[in-house]
Amino acid sequence: MRNNVLYHIMIFFVACCFIFSLPTLSHANKIPEFRTNLGGLPISCSIYSDQATINNVKSSYRLKDVYAVLGKPSSEYKREGITYVNYEGLYLTFADYSGDGNLYIRSITTAHKSGATTIDGVKPGMSEDVLTKVYGTADSIHTVIDTAPKLSAADNKKRQDRINKTIYTYNANECVSLCFTVKNGVISEIAIYVAE
């Protein structure tokens, strides 16, 4: 009888471990979809729309939704039809795309030391290796390499350590992209861009 109880406890424990180790929808690698962006260029889309989220703010949110999630911002101002909102290193821009007075997210950007995270737990300061583990192969990769030919090799190296960067982009659809800027192998910035 005692062995039977231990056996069932072990089976229950193993089953729980298995269930909790399965990827959730937000962590699952999506099979890429191939589409055309708003400029008519072919793109692949490898993340779910819900993965385009930073600090529980989704790319589809309006300004009032952001207030409900994050509260009052540190600063807010308007310029040329764009509203800029700052939450201590989490920067958001909003626009009235439809002309109905509702302000929708245009971009969300993190500062390096903001503590902001994606819904999948990725944040600035982490190694770029985490991107492939969490999101798979990027939909596009843009590398900036700075060279000043008149400077010495040592001075060029100093410049490159500060300026060179790689941007990994994961598209959710034709209008929404999740981007990671990497410098020297470390994620320095995360941004979400929403096209009109």
Distance of CA 93 to the CA centre of its chain: 15
Picking from 38, 73, 63, the residue whose alpha carbon sits closest to that of residue 171 is 38
Q: Compute the distance between CA of residue 188 and CA of residue 181 in angstroms, rounded to an integer.
A: 6
Element (H, E) at 194: strand 186-194
Going residue by residue through the chain, which has 196 residues, state the pLDDT in tens, using 9 for 90 and above: 555 655 555 555 544 444 444 344 444 567 888 888 878 888 899 999 999 999 999 999 999 999 999 999 999 999 988 999 999 889 999 999 888 888 999 999 997 778 899 999 999 999 999 999 999 999 999 999 988 899 999 998 888 888 899 999 999 999 999 999 999 999 999 999 998 7
Neighbouring C-beta atoms of residue 122, cutoff 10 Å: 20
Confidence (pLDDT) at 6: 52
